[in-house]
Chains A and B, each alone.
Chain A
């Protein structure tokens, strides 16, 4: 069974540019999460989807971040415009129950 797929794995952009990350969860998993992981820290939840509905986006900085999961399967997280402080690893996870399964993450560097 394929795991959570994320792309790209690495992205380098200049500040003020837009960037998008893509995630395909494990087949059949209705719940999808986006996390932010800063260097030396644990992941912090940005947004959680139940199917296509965002049920917890309280930690998402909505002035520059947006996310969508239009058909309740794969999801895209966007930052526009990016700032230097957005440099981090963006993790996607999915769940069909109590356990969450993580993708490899996208490492973003903003210069």
Chain B
């Protein structure tokens, strides 16, 4: 089992450009979560899907961030018009059923740097 796979590992964009981050959950897992990690804010929840359906996007900045899960094997997080404050490590995690007391299995993250 390869675990949760995130690509790319590092991404550098210029201010105003678009960034798309990819996540492949563990095979058989029904839920996918996106978190953003910074030194100042720690691990911030962004959004999650269960069985490909969006369940909770309460952590997503409304204007420039969007997430999709077109099939059970991958999810994307898209940031339009990136700003320097978007620089962070974006972590994807999956869990078996998406229940409240389940283990989250994190990927290695995508380090986004906005110049």
**Are A and B interaction partners?**
no
